[in-house]
Each structure stands twice: as structure tokens, then as C-alpha cells.
Amino acid sequence: MEYAFRAIEQKWKKYWNDEEVYKVSNLSEKPKFYILDMFPYPSGAGLHVGHPLGYIASDIYARYKRLRGYNVLHPMGFDAFGLPAEQYAIETGQHPAVTTEKNITRYREQLDNIGFCYDWDRSVITSNADYYKWTQWIFLQLFHSWYDRKQNRARPIKDLITIFEKEGNSNNPCPDDDQMCFDGKQWKNFSEKEKRDTLMRYRLAYQGYAEVWWCEALGTVLANDEVINGVSERGGYPAERKQMRQWFLRITEFAERLQESLDTLDWSEAMKEMQRNWIGKSNGAEVRFEIQGFYNKHITVFTTRPDTIFGVDFMVLAPEHEIVDEIVASAQRDAVSEYKQYVKSRSERERMAEVKQVTGCFTGAYALHPLSMKPVPIWISEYVLASYGTGAIMAVPSGDERDHLFSKHFDLPITNIFGTNYDGSKAYSDKTGVLDNSEFLNGIEITKASEIAIRAIVDAGAGRKKVNYRMRDAGFSRQRYWGEPFPIVYISNIPYATDEPELDAYPTIQALPLELPLVENYKPGPEGESPLANVEDWVNTLAGKRETNTMPGYAGSSWYFLRYTDPHNDKEFASRTATDYWQAVDIYIGGTEHAVGHLLYARMWTKALYDLGHIGFDEPFKKLINQGMIQGSSRFVFELIVNKMSPKTNARTGRIFVSKSHYENLVKIQTDKEKVIQYLIDNGVAKYDVKDIRPDTKISIIKAHIDVNIVDGLELNVEEFSKRFNITDTNGYIIREDDGKYICDAEIEKMSKSKYNVVNPDDIVEQYGADTFRMYEMFLGPVEMSKPWDTKGIEGVFRFLKKMWRLYFDEQKGWIVTDEKPIEAELRIIHKTIKKVGDDIERFSFNTSVSQFMICVNELAALNCHKRDILEALVVLICPFAPHYAEELWH
RNA sequence: GCCCUGGUGGCGGAAUUGGUAGACGCGCAGGACUUAAAAUCCUGUUUGCCGUAAGGCGAGUACGGGUUCAAUUCCCGUCUGGGGCACCA
């Protein structure tokens, strides 16, 4: 009896399914373990061999933990809202729900083929109404909350109203306008609209006017992390900054906590670093400069180097800074407006491309240095960004490279505050040495001067210590159809959440889910509005107009890990009992591409839900593992193309393909046309004659991708190739190696359809079985590392499974396991393996586990060991890796 | 430019805390079984030199230094692959 993987896998797949073997209960005496994969977006292309890498790793770990006596939650679902489905709908007219469902079915089949132990009963699909009902509900919780900076947590907005009624906002300044100020009495006198507008500026999910990334081609607004170098992440269309009314999440209020608790997480340093970069915390000071000749007018700057305060030689404002028009001197008015016009004309892309170009314009105004009272000229320049800090800087040319370049370019004087450390050729930005030319800071070490300078600034009433963050609030609306609708209705142009008392008279409007209506087409509505704006009987309700934007892709994925704990609950997003039992995800596996998007938003939502008392933990993912990519190993054929030269009459024509060594020979003589043609003739191409070469004859050799599935190693399956390209013995040439093979070239590239290097897991499973496939993916190398796929190598793992099989079965005799007592050598081998494999699984080193299995089986085979005690242990051990196989041997 | 990661045979990779470098697999070469093929099994496979051979001597983990009885591992400098950020004050 040999290893009949197809029958075995069919049998156990059915058994697991029929008996619901992997059903997980929330009621268990066992300790819990929650291991999760980042759920996929079900695209039309299906899975390739790279996708399941992380899934296999987590599946092995889940099965291992289960064997070790844990109650393991290991679910899978689909992140089904998003742009590609909608783009596809625009192109083909097919409803996104239809294509999404089709894709999910296909994904499900592919996943089931690999033998994962998911409890499919817990699966979530973010585009299903019974799921997004709760996405909408959480949005409402954020809408009804504000951030209490003193208690450092999110709180219900009704608490804020109570505070406002009592004392106004003096103790709770407005997050986006610290000038806003009112007392309790004024609050009570506010109109309904004023009250709502004010509250909106505190809410965690709020509507605001802000500059956002607008992508004309996609007809939508994009989040900061969806724009890369000024173009959209999906599709690569140009994006521009535009003032628009949008929904936002006030994630900036969580910046400090998001940054701080990174230290408690077991994530890779690279991942944490990316989040730290994104949050962009910097310590420094805010300093106020009065403007000469104006009463009570000032510019506030943020600086990380208050120690260099005496090196300030000028100030620079962002051209968009609102104070520019107020302070500009009449002599400079034309120059300034001309410069502003110039800046406006430049696209974001141009600005990014020409970073080092120095431009700017003097305003004619002067500010007063807060400590020395020296007047300093005020300039505007595009190198100062309106969106960071206060949109204004104090320029210290001797200590900052950009300020230095600016000074040199406009020939401004430079005050040297670093003594001999500054040599006049470039700025001195190190923090070693002492200060000079700095009044009371003279002779003080740079590292110690900041504190002293800040104290002096505070004493002068000119500023304060300040922490600044680069992160901005996250845009939360899209002018799109295929997303969650907002449960928001406008009454007299004021947005109300559907669960507010104002809508109590309309229970049908209040009900969640607010379902996405069917639309006629997916084209944008008027003025860039979402397609929903076209559905009049949906938009216009008895109470007022509905919000027509939809939520962004990351909404559904920001909390799905909570839903898995209680997926069928129709009273709550998840019961507190369920989330208390399962707690945070113990191990989360996924790619690094979500470092600053999904992972940051999910962390924020978790913190908000925690603050509001809905869950009992404030970090979603304790340990994070980033699986590497499996790259494609592309194959190339070489084609020789001859232009402007006529083939001989009555010779066969057609294309000419040459094998690798011929290609190498031809490349060397490529410039000599005569030699090339002679080479072809020598190799049997009777099509040309050397005497027919013309002066304008062009010879080129191209290297073209060829489907990896018709290449074995480097050897092309010529028969299949000829069939596909319609090359026969009479209408084309394939010049092979001396041994009759056609050898291809190979390169490692990203696996993608356009490179013809995609390997489908279904094909591998069909040929070698799921268990071999699983073990091989692990055997390739560490989970975290990127490595190329090589179908040839799978033979080794396949051979190993067959070899192990023969420890149990004999071709003639059948089952040969005996009840003999093991000898010491055998026990030694199996115990070594148990120790090693166990340790390796614990540290997620599955490639070395597989190696250890191979060693073990080789050693047992050498001892001719067929003893039950030994083999039973081995089967249990291998179960997480090759589950079907192990089940079959076990029974 | 800044930050994070890596660099080990022909290839994927191992060496877990500083302790025999190259496990395991692929590929390649040779051999056994077979009329033959498939399948299976065995041997060799970092490199230079010496030896018919068993074996011996030396070099070697990107490069150059250093610490140590001992370095792929720790430290300093250089080169280089990958990823992230980028006029962020």
C-alpha cells in the first residue's frame, strides 16, 4: 500500500467538515489561545502559492496549541468592501456583491484544499449587512465620543455637554482650535447649530473641512497612507490636495498612547519603527514672535531646537499661512502674490521631485526676537509646510541645513552660534559642543541648553514646551458606492446620527444596519459625490437627506478580530463575555504592507472601545509576525528578430527561438549581422541568406517571459510551447542545445500574472497533495523571510512523506507496525525529535522542524524500526504540519 | 539624506545564549536494482594543497580592523541587497 494522498485528503476533508471537528466553543475549561491571520481581500485573480504562507504557519501553530491542550480560536474571513470590486463593476456592470461572492467562493475552495483548521462557522464578511451593522454602530460610538486629555481617555459626548453647561470649555480646549473659548452661560445661549458645530469639533468621528487627497481619476478622496509620492496607491493616478467637507477620525488624540504602548508589544522593530515614523513624535517648544509694527499680532513656531534660539536670523512662513496677507509690506505685495501664485501652480508631484530647489520671497515684515528683541525678517517659502507644526519656522542657518541653503541662496547674514564647529560652508547640526553668541547660553553644552532656553522663553511669556506629532487625523469618507453607508441624516443641514433623539419619530431610519441600496450604475454622483447621491428615494427620507459618502476600506478591518469571538450576535458587536474570554489576539500574522494603515486604525479603535467600556483590553495584537513574500521565479525564452530582410522564397518562415547558450553566443556577435545570419544558417535556419543582408537590416534578440508552468526547472517543454505559439516544424525554428533541450533563462521577480510566473496552489495540491504542499512551503525558509518559489524542490518533501509512510506500510505486507518494545537508540531519536520540533514550533521556526522530521525518519528507517510506541509519537508530532496524513496513520 | 533589516556552497537555507561552520532539501556527479523506464536505495558534493587510499595540512560565513582561550554570532569602519520615511522645523 502506497501513500495515496488524494484519497486520504478527500476522506479527511469530508470527515472534518461533516463532524464539525474544528468548531470552537466560547465555553471551555481550557486556557484560550487566539491566533489570527490578516483576512484577505477576495480579488478576482484567486490565490497563488505565496498567499497561503502565513495561513499555513498560523495553522500549524494553531494545531500545535490545540494538541497542547489550549482552546484555540483560529478563524478566517474576508475583507470584502473596496475599490477593485467597484472598478470592476464600473467596467463590466456586474454588481460588486455578485463578483465579491463569486470570488469568496473561489477563495474558500482554494483554502479548503490546503487543510486549514478554521471554524468556518465563525467566518466574517465585512460587506454583509449583519457585519457592517456593527461597523456602523462603532462609528456611532466614535461619533458620540470625545477625548478627555486630562483623564487621557475617550468619553461619551454627553459628559462633555454637562461640562460645557457648567463651565464652558476653559478646561477642555478644542482639539483643532485652542483659541476657541466660551463659558457655561455662553454655551447655553448658543443656537442648536452652534452647539452642534462646537461638539463636532470634539467628536472622535467628526465632519470637518480640511485639505484632503483628492484623486480625480478615481473620483474619490484617499487617506494619507493610500497616497504614495503624490499618486494613488491603487492605480497610480495623480492625487492633489483639496479643501473638502469630509468625515475624519480624531486619531491624533490617541497619538501619544499609540506611540507609548508600542513598547509593550511583541512586534518586529521595523514594524514599530514604521509606526513611530508615521506618528512622528517630536519634542520641542512652541515660541511666539511678535511682529514689528503691529499691535498684538504674532507668529507661533514649533522648534525641536530651542537651544538655537539665538541663532535665529529670519523666519519662514508657509506661503499658505493666513497671516501673510495681513503683514506683507506694500513694497513686497506684488512679489509675494506672484510667489504664492507660483507655488499654487506647482503640483504636489513637482514639489516632491524638486526638493532641493530653493525658492522664496521676502514679505517686507519683521518679527521681534522674543529674548534679544532683535528684528528678524519674515520670508515665505514652499519648504515650510502649512500642514506640519504651525506652518512657520524660526530659521537658524548655522544649525539647520535647509535654513543654511536658504540663507546662501538669498545672501542673508548668518549668525554663528557654534564657534569653531561652524565653518561657514554648511550647517552644524550635531549636538556635541558648546554654544557661542547666545547671551546667557554661551559656553553651555548644546544638549543641556534646551531646558534652559525653554525656561527663559516661558519666563518671557513667549512660549512653552511642546510635543508635536506629524500624524494627522484620518480621512474617513469616500465618494464611493462599495462601502458602509454612514448612519447620518442631515436635518436643516446639520448632521445627526440616526440614533439621536431627534430621529426618534422615525424608527425605520434609526434601524441598523443601514443597508446599501442597489444602484443603476456605479458612476460618481454630481460634483464628485458618491454614486449613492443618484438614488433619490434612498437619499431623501422623511427626516432629511442621508449622508451619501461611504466608509473607507479600513473601517471593516479595524475591528473584525473582535467579531470572530461572537460572530452571530445580533444584539451587540460581540458580547463582553466573549471578548473577555478570548481577549486580545495572541499572535497576528500578516504582511508588512499594513504597518501604518490597518494596524494603526485597529489599534485606535481598540483603545476607543476600551475607553468606552465595551472591551477589556486596549491593544488588539500582542505579537505580530510578518510573513515574507514568496517571489516568483520567472522563466524567459529568447527570440531573434530580423527586420528589413526578406526570407528566401520557398523556405519556411516563422519565428526563431534560441536556447540559452545560443543566445549567449549571439549576444557576443550581435553587432556583426553577417556573423549572426551565418550562425543561424549553421544551426539549421534556412530562411535567410547572408547575401540578402541590407544596410538597413536590423537584428535584435529579445528576452520574453514564458509561463513557468511549461518549464521544468530550466528546460522548456518544447511540445507545449510550440502548441501555444503555433510553431511547427514547417513554420518556425527552435534552436536547441546539443542535447536536444531548450534551456530558459531565470530571474526572481514578484509573483504576478503579467510575468507569467504565477503558480497556483490548486495545481500543486493536485500533483503532490496538500500535506506535501504545506510542509514544503514551511521548508522553504523562515516564515518572515521572502524567498523564491521553486516547484522542483517540492520533490524532496514528497519523497520524505513517502519514506515515512513506508515505516508503517509495506508494499506487499501492508500494515507493518509492531508492538515490540523500543530500544534505546530508537527512544533517543524520537525524544530528540520531540524536543527539537517542539522548541522550533514555539519560536515559529518551521523550516527547521521539517528538517528534523527528515532526519528522524532517515534514522528510524536505517534502524528498520516499525515499533508502535515510536511511530505513534512521530505521527502526533507531525500532525500540525501534515494533518490529513497524520489522521490517516493514526486510525 | 535619515531609520530599520539582511549579506554563509551552484541554489533555498541551518548553526536557538560566543563553543566542531555548511544541518536538511534541491541541483549535480557516480553507483545498485531493472531488458528498459518509473519508483526506490547507496556514495560524493565549500575550497586549495599532499596522498593510490584511509587520511593529513591550510584557507573560509561581503570586506578591513578589534575584543576573547574561542567570533557567522560581540564592537568599530567600509562596501552592498531589501524595506520604510523624506523639505517634518
pLDDT score recorded for residue A593: 87
Using alpha carbons, select from A827, A825, A874 the residue that is nearest to residue A849: A874
Q: Quick one: which H or E segment has residue A551?
A: none
Q: Beta-carbon neighbour count of residue A653 at 10 Å?
A: 13
Residue A686 predicted with pLDDT over 90: no
Strands A787-788 and A630-643: parallel
pLDDT at A300: 94
| pLDDT value, residue A426 | 84
**pLDDT at position A239 over 90:** no
Of residues A202 and A235, more confidently modeled: A202
Q: Is residue A780 within 8 Å of A793, Cβ to Cβ?
A: yes
Question: Any idea of the CA torsion for A204, A209, A214, A218, to the nearest 10 degrees?
Answer: 70
Which residues, including other chains, have CB under 8 Å from residue A717's CB and lie 6 or more apart?
A: A710, A711
Buried b (16+ CB within 10 A) or exposed e, A99-125: bbbebbebbbebbebbbbbbbbebbbb
The helix/strand/coil state of A815 is strand
* Confidence (pLDDT) at A349: 62
In the numeric block, the cell 500543486 is attached to A764
What is the pLDDT confidence band of residue A355, given thresholds at 50, 70 and 90?
Answer: low
Q: Which residue has the cell 475599490?
A: A83
Question: Which bases of strand B sit closer than 7 A to a protein CB?
Answer: 3-5, 11-16, 23-28, 39-42, 82-89
For strand B, is any atom closer than 7 Å to the CB of A393? Answer: yes
**pLDDT higher than 80, residue A18:** yes
Q: Cα separation of A34 and A40, whole Å?
A: 18
SS3 content of chain A, % helix, strand, coil (to 5): 40, 20, 40
- A238 conformational bin, left if phi > 0, alpha if psi -120 to 50, beta if neither: beta
Is A745 strand, coil or helix? strand
- Residues (222-251, chain A) with CB within 7 Å of strand B atoms: 225, 228
The span from the CA of A864 to the CA of A689, in Å, is 67
Nucleotide nearest to A358 (CA to C1'): B87
Q: Give me the pLDDT at residue A625, please.
A: 93
Least-confidence region, from A78-82, A215-219, A284-288, A633-637: A215-219
Where does residue A43 rank: exposed (0-12), middle (13-18), buried (19+ CB within 10 A)? middle
Residue (of A162, A143, A141) closest to A203 by Cα position: A143
Helix (H/G/I), strand (E/B), else coil: A155: strand
Which tens digits make up the pLDDT trace of A481-500?
A: 999 999 999 999 999 999 99
pLDDT surpassing 80 at residue A305: yes
**Stretch A569-577: mean pLDDT:** 96
The residues of A between 846 and 875 with beta carbon within 7 Å of nucleic strand B are 847-848, 850-851, 854-855, 858, 861-862
pLDDT band at residue A363, thresholds of 50, 70 and 90?
A: very high
Instruction: Name the pTM for this structure.
Output: 0.91
Q: Where are the beta strands (DSSP E) in A87-169?
A: 145-148, 153-156
Q: Which of residues 260-279 of A have CB within 7 Å of strand B? A: 268-270, 273-274, 277-278
Secondary structure (3-state) at A495? strand
With H, G, I as helix, E, B as strand and everything else as coil, classify residue A399: coil
- Per-residue pLDDT for A268 more than 80? yes
Q: What is the ipTM of this complex?
A: 0.93
Pick the more confident residue, A667 or A72. A72
